[in-house]
Structure 1
Amino acid sequence: MSTFIKDYIERETISRRNFLFASAAGLTTAAMPGVFGAGMARAATDPALAWSYRDRASAYWNAIVSGGEAFTESIGKTKEDMTSLINEGSSEKSLADIKAFLAKNNGACAIACDANDSPNARPVAEAVQAAGGYVSTIWNKTDDAHPWDFGDNWVSHMTWSDEKPAEETARILFEAMGGKGGVVHLGGIAANNPAIERLNGLKNALKDYPDIELLDAQPADWDTTKAAELMASFLTKYGDKITGVHCANDNIAYGVMEALKAEGIEGMPIVAYDGNPEAVQMVMDGQLLATVFTNPHWGGGVTLALAYHAAIGTFKPSEEPNEHREFYGPTILVTAKDAADFKAKYLDNVPTYDWKDFWGPSNGQIVYK
């Protein structure tokens, strides 16, 4: 018998013995990473991909997920190779789905995630770290939770600096109102960072407009139907006192318009946020004064790209500076004067992105007040 064959048989015998010992002890391959050697290495170089998000009903989230799919295709896979973990606005479901995905794939996962509300980001990161996976998050986390506190497993967090853009839309609204009158604000989910920042932006602008009164500000949970119901209640309560509407996102603006149309009200000044194709067209048509684009296609793609490349070892998150672990995404104010050019550049032909340029379009490190 040749030495090569003898050595091979001995190695296989040892591997088989280790497997039996592990089985007898109730250990899994995740608990004994050295058992299968090359098999485990293959898993590490080909992590399962997932995007955890609310739903795909809105144009915004559809763009986010489309970005994730574009990245997935860029590494030679199909769209179907990216699993959608749809939480339907439930933080509990978000966490449960992520845990199940981690368990199914023995932790060999690269996950992009919006935690749905801020407190959920920490347990998501803890679950991913415990399983040995990798996650990059967007939008929602508490100020005291940071990726660098979780080693390499919480790769990055991206949010958008919404306060200033929301202040800019408010100023556009107030000027259209002639600097006086009453405004109502319809917001997102109360615990969401963007909902808080967009309301703060409105309040900042109000400081320079003493003749404008904030009549009311209530959450509409980013939802068109809830926004229509809330706006109808505002109209019942405040009537003609309302002379302008500040919306936390485009979906909310659509609901506001439905409520106004039902009451036969035309020409009400309205501003929104997200830069969805329908909203941009409404800006062009004069139905909205302004919206703000956050480039969700790029955001969705690069968030998954960061988790994936950390998982396969392209870069080591813990060796990156903090501004690469927590950073702002890009924002573009869209008004009537530039809406057509914006639509042609970003919506009619979606740009092709280099998914390894992780921080190119980003807008600096997150700043805490």
Structure 2
Amino acid sequence: MSFIKKFIEQETVSRRNFLLASAFGVGGVAATSMFGSSLARAAIQGPTIAWSYRDRTNPYWNAIVSGGEAFVESLGKSKGDLVNLINEGSSEKSLSDVKALLGKTNGKLALAIDTNDSPNARPVVEAVVAKGAYVSTIWNKTDDLHPWDFGDNYVSHMSWSDVGPAEQTATILFKAMGGKGGIVGLGGIASNNPAIERRKGMDNALKNFPDIKLLDYQAADWDTQKANSIMASYLTRFGDEITGVFCANDTMAYGVLEALRAEGMTGQVPVVAYDGNAQAVDLVAAGELLATVYTNPYWGGGITSALAYYAATGAFKPSDEPREHREFYGPTILITKDDADKFKSDYIDSTPRYDWKDYWGPSNGAITY
């Protein structure tokens, strides 16, 4: 458990240091108008490759960007050639940084991005398209925003079907509780698609366990420290009524486990999580977490960059592809104590090698609404 306490203590300092070290010089700077050039280039020679995301100190996002770096290295470039746009959980900063980079590159840009929340996806896409650049998104967009409505420049969107896997983890939790008792939940940013779907999965599982009561569910915004504070308040409010905890991601689970440890309750309350981070897999193997779900962020980060880049350079034409290649689900793997060691051997101790031109190989079919 010592790494969890260290994780919490160092999170703020690490985030600040990384931001300073990786600053590209575009944060918060106003860019040229999105109503500039509206014509897409047939191909862009040597586009800048960028990843826009929340926070690399989070293990999940570190894995995403590591995949992006692996793709960049496959082109014979260095990791440093990938531009990091870190939005720190701010949709306004996300959009501002993208516009600034579009201006700096004059639209010669292949952008991979999680727009931080769903409503921010449209202005980001519109800004990119207006400059003739190319963008692939993951996780967050509104249901009425589709790549095929923007020709080739909005290349693709990948999300994960989280309802089913979250229902599985919740079911594992409820069975470990003997089918009765009280649970508390910690969710992500309220407007995030994965936060919505993971909550829905938990709610679906609750329908099958009428003797389990949901005591409270609060958004901890995917953050370890906030989850730690909320869990501490839960323990004060509900005490022994809490017999299980549902966490919508691994990093929030670290805060929950630390709060339980502080009260001398380690191992007494079962906890489930989501994301399949290396540390979480170790905790599953040790029995401190019941389960987590792996979404292969390394592949997701690499292939999202690859799609934007190869569309920008003319290697393929997105508008010639079927819709299931424009909007698709990423893969998921449920991890429990029974298979944690094998999973760690296959995916963590040795990083799988991917063909970054096999754009949809591990994908999980078309997104349905």
Percent identity among equivalent residues? 70
Q: Which amino acid aligns with 1:211?
A: D
Q: How far apart, in 1, do the equivalents of 2:334 and 2:311 lie?
A: 32
* Alignment map for 1:9-28 (pairs within 5 Å): none
Gaps of 5+ in 1: 1-29, 34-39
* Large movers: runs of 4+ above 6 Å: none
Q: How far apart, in 1, do the equivalents of 2:106 and 2:345 lie?
A: 44
TM-aligned CA deviation for residue 151 of structure 1: 1.1
TM-aligned CA deviation for residue 325 of structure 1: 0.5
Larger Rg over CA atoms: 1
TM-aligned CA deviation for residue 31 of structure 1: 5.7
Matched, 1:185 2:153: no
Q: Are residues 290 and 31 of structure 1, via their aligned partners in 2, closer, same or farther at CA, if it must alter by over 3 Å? A: closer
Q: How far apart, in 2, do the equivalents of 1:150 and 1:306 lie?
A: 15
SS of 1:103's equivalent?
helix
CA contact (8 A) 2:38 2:130 kept: no
SS of 1:218's equivalent?
strand
Q: How far apart, in 2, do the equivalents of 1:76 and 1:281 lie?
A: 34
Match of 1:67 in 2: 67
Match of 2:291 in 1: 290
- Cα deviation, 1:55-83, whole Å, max 9, x if unaligned, reads 10011111100000000010111111110
Q: How many residues align?
A: 332
Matched, 1:314 2:315: yes
Match of 2:342 in 1: 341
* Alignment map for 1:226-237 (pairs within 5 Å): 226-237=226-237
Matched, 1:303 2:304: yes
- Cα deviation, 1:95-123, whole Å, max 9, x if unaligned, reads 01011111111101000000000000000
Match of 1:17 in 2: none
Q: Which amino acid aligns with 2:76?
A: G
CA contact (8 A) 2:328 2:367 kept: yes
Q: TM-score, normalised by structure 2?
A: 0.88
Match of 2:260 in 1: 260
TM-aligned CA deviation for residue 261 of structure 1: 1.2
TM-aligned CA deviation for residue 266 of structure 1: 2.4
Q: How far apart, in 1, do the equivalents of 2:203 and 2:44 lie?
A: 48
CA contact (8 A) 2:37 2:131 kept: no
Match of 2:50 in 1: 50
Match of 2:98 in 1: 98
**Structure 1 vs Structure 2 CA RMSD:** 1.4
- Cα deviation, 1:275-312, whole Å, max 9, x if unaligned, reads 00000000000000000000000000000000000000
Matched, 1:275 2:276: yes
SS of 1:45's equivalent?
coil
TM-aligned CA deviation for residue 318 of structure 1: 1.0
Q: How far apart, in 2, do the equivalents of 1:31 and 1:103 lie?
A: 11
Matched, 1:76 2:45: no
Match of 1:4 in 2: none
Q: Are residues 234 and 320 of structure 1, via their aligned partners in 2, closer, same or farther at CA, if it must alter by over 3 Å? A: same
Q: How far apart, in 2, do the equivalents of 1:318 and 1:345 lie?
A: 35
TM-aligned CA deviation for residue 32 of structure 1: 12
CA contact (8 A) 2:38 2:131 kept: no
* Alignment map for 1:236-251 (pairs within 5 Å): 236-251=236-251
CA contact (8 A) 2:109 2:133 kept: yes
Q: How far apart, in 2, do the equivalents of 1:276 and 1:89 lie?
A: 20
